[in-house]
Amino acid sequence: MKPVPPAVSRRTFLRGVGVTMALPWLESLPVWGAAPESAPAPRRFAAVFMGCGINGDHWWAKGSGAAMELGKSLEPLAPLKEKLNFVTGLFNKSATHVGIHPGQTGNILSGAPLQKGAELHGGVSVDQVLAKHFQDATEQPSLVVGCEQPMTGYHETNFSMAYSSHISWESPTSPVPMEVYPSLAFDSLFDNRGSRRNESVLDRVREEVAALDAKVSAGDRARLDEYLTNVREVEKRIESARTHKDRADERAKDQGKPVARMKRPDDGLPEDVREHMRLMCDLVAIGFQTDKTRVATLLLCRDLSGLFYPFLGVREAHHTASHSDRSDAYEKISRYYCGQFAYLASKLDAMKEGEGTVLDNSCLMFLSNMWAGRKHDNARVPLVIAGGLSGTLETGRSLDYLSAADDNRKLCSLYLSIMDRMGVKLDRFGDAQTRLERL
C-alpha cells in the first residue's frame, strides 16, 4: 500500500518574518490532512446582517432553480439562483413584544430572552457554538467583523445599546469583540505583526512561494497565482485604510479621547462605506478560502444605523430612511445591501475547491432584525441563504413558512438544522427543540 504523505497544515504553510499565510485548496497537496482526492472539504457558516429591515414590497421570490423569480431588491442575486434558498415567515420569538430595536437585535443569532437594565444577559449565538466546535480544527475559531462602530448607553426601552451593536455573543453576558478596522482584520488573518507590519505580507513569504511553486501541479500553480494576486489587490486597498487608522489614533491621542467616540471618518474608518463593506467581504472570503476560519459574522450596518448613502441618491441616514421602508429610497438601500451579500457569495463561488466551490461547501446567511421599519415589525425576518453545505442542503428554492404554526416557523429551528449539517447535534437551541421542516 502506498503510504499517505504527512499532512501539510494549510493554515501555517507559508511563513515569513512576522507573518503567516494560509493556503487555499490545492489538488496536488494533502492540505486537508489526507490524500487530496479523499479528504472532504470543510463546511463553513457566515451570517451577514443589515439592521432595521428591508422594503417588503420588493423582497420576494417565486419558483425554483434557474426559473426562480426575484423581487427588485433581490436582483443582485440573480446569477446565483440555483445556489440560493429564499426563506420567508420565520421569526425570533424572544425578540417579539419586548420593545423596539435593541430587544429585537441582540438575540438574532441566539433566540435567547434579553435582560433589560445595567447587566447584559442573553445567550450564546449560533456562530459561537460552531466556532467552539471547530476551535481545534482552525487557527482562528471565528471572524467577527463589522462596518460601523458599536453604540454605548441605553435605549428608551431600557435595553443596552450593546444589543443593537452586536450579533455575535461568546457568552450570555459578553459579545465577541467586533473588528471594524479592515487593516486590523487583515493583520489577524495573516498573523501580521512586529516592526514590519506595514510591509507587504507577500514580499515576506516570497521565498516560500517560490519553493511551493516548484512542487505543485500546473493547475495548482495557476490557482496559487490567482490567490496571491487577490491577496495583493486587497493588501493595496488595506494600505490606505491602515493610513487612515494610524492618523485617527494620533488625533485621538492629541484630543485625549477614545478613537471609537470620534465621528466617521475622523475615527479612521473608511469614509466610503462601499469600500469598507467590500474590504470586509474580501477578508471573510480569504478566511474561508484558506480555512483560517470556518465561522464568520459580518455586521454590514447595526440596528439604529447612522450610515449615509449619497451614492444611492438617498438623503436620509439608514435608520431614518427605514421608517419609510416602502419608499423608493429604502428599496435602493435594501437592494444595495443585497448586493453586498451577492458580492461575497459570488467571491466564494469563484473559488474552486475539489469538485465544487467554497460557496458550495458553505452556508452564507443574510438576515435583518425586522421586516418593516415603519412599524418595527419583526413577526417575520428577511432571510436568504446561499450555498449547499457540501450537498447536505438543497438549494434553488423559495420556502414560505408564513402560514405555518408558530412552533413550525422558529428561526432557532433553522439554526438547529444548520448545526446538524455541520456536525453539532443539540437537543435544543434558543426557543427551539425541533428542526425546521422542509429544509
Q: Which residues of the chain have pLDDT under 50?
A: 1-12
Residue 13: predicted pLDDT: 72
- The grid cell for 408 is 413550525
DSSP code per residue over 139-197 = SSS-EEEESSPPP-SB-TTS-BTHHHH-S-EEETTEEPPPB--HHHHHHHHTT--STTT
Range 262-271 contact pairs with CB under 8 angstroms and sequence separation of 24 or more: 264/149, 267/149, 268/181, 268/244, 269/147, 269/149, 269/180, 269/181, 269/244, 270/182, 270/240, 270/241, 270/244
Q: Are 357 and 349 in contact (CB under 8 A)?
A: yes
The helix (run of H) or strand (run of E) holding residue 134 is helix 126-134
Q: Is the peptide bond before 265 cis (omega within 30 degrees of 0)?
A: yes
Enumerate long-range contacts of 308-311, CB under 8 Å, 24 or more apart.
308/273, 309/273, 309/333, 309/336, 311/274
Q: What's the confidence (pLDDT) of residue 37? A: 54
Rg, Å, the chain Cα set: 21
Q: Are 302 and 151 in contact (CB under 8 A)?
A: yes
pLDDT at 28: 82
| N-to-C CA span, the chain | 42
Quick check: helix, strand or coil at residue 377?
Answer: strand
| Strand, helix or coil for residue 44 | strand
* E-state strands within 245-396: 295-301, 352-353, 356-357, 362-368, 383-386
Pick from 134, 103, 122, 115: nearest CA to 171: 122
Entry pTM: 0.95
pLDDT of residue 5: 38
H helix runs in 50-116, sequence order? 102-105
Per-residue confidence (pLDDT) for residue 340, from 0 to 100:
98
Q: Which of 365, 426, 406, 437 is nearest to 93 (CA)?
A: 406
- Centre a 10 Å sphere on the Cβ of residue 311 and count the other Cβ atoms it contains: 11
3-state SS, residue 11: coil
Residue 260 and residue 224: Cα distance in Å, rounded? 38
Q: What is the Cβ-side half-sphere exposure of residue 151, based on CA atoms within 13 angstroms?
A: 19
Kind and range of the H or E element at 400? strand 397-400
| pLDDT for res 197 | 86
In angstroms, what CA-CA distances link 270 with 36, 243, 347, 411?
A: 40, 10, 21, 33
